[in-house]
Structure 1
């Protein structure tokens, strides 16, 4: 089994096939989208492939070490930006093919008018061991 991170990006600018930004969806469309995500996670819990997941607030900040002991904090990311991390899900699956299959299914979550949003999901395996260098 290999763990994968499914990183859900919210694109404020029209993108993909269903090009209505989420901030213009009706409350019913948002609810249907969230229900799809919850149903997807529940199904994967049943198969033992779901590990964890969470939606993220659009408010946030950037922090970095400054060498002085007090890290600077800046505003952002902002909901008005073209790309914002909206949430994540961790799955534990047999192989990359299964991870791709599930990511494709999750990409079909409904959006405006109930149509699949065809969003791009970032799919990344967890690093399980340091890379080996051979010469």
Structure 2
């Protein structure tokens, strides 16, 4: 088994197939989207492939240690990027092909008008071994 992070990127960019911002979805469209996500997670719980997931609130800050005491904090991520990290899911699957299959299915969550939003998902494998340095 291999763990993967599915990092959910909601894009309001012109290249998106279903380019209706979430703040313009009807309450029913939001409910349908959440139901799809919950049903997807429940199905993966039954197969033993679900580990964890969480939706993220808008906004955030960048924090970086500067060596001077309290770390500096800046606003971000910045709204002008048109890309919002909406949440994440961790899965534990037999391999990369299964992870890609599930990511594609999750990307089809419904949005405005019940059409799939074709959400961008960043698929990242978990590090399983400490990196080694060779000379």
TM-score, reference length from structure 1: 0.92
Q: Is the 8 A contact 2:55 2:87 kept in 1?
A: yes
Show structure 1 runs of 4+ deviating over 2 A.
Answer: 12-16, 78-81, 130-135
**Structure 1: runs of 5 or more not aligned:** none
Distance 1:50 1:15 in 2: 30
**Gapped regions of structure 2 (runs ≥ 5):** none
2:74 is equivalent to residue 74 of structure 1:
yes
Query: Any conservation in 2 of the 1:12–1:79 contact (CA below 8 Å)?
Result: no
- 1:34 is aligned to 34
Structure 1 residue 59 displacement after superposition: 2.1
Q: Distance in 2 between matches of 1:96 and 1:132?
A: 22
CA-atom RMSD, angstroms? 1.6
Q: Deviation digits for residues 17-36 of structure 1, max 9, x if unmatched? A: 21212121111111111110
Post-superposition shift, 1:67? 0.4
Aligned length, in residue pairs: 135
Q: Is the 8 A contact 2:12 2:19 kept in 1?
A: no
Give the TM-score taking structure 2 as reference length. 0.92
Equivalent residue for 1:45? 45
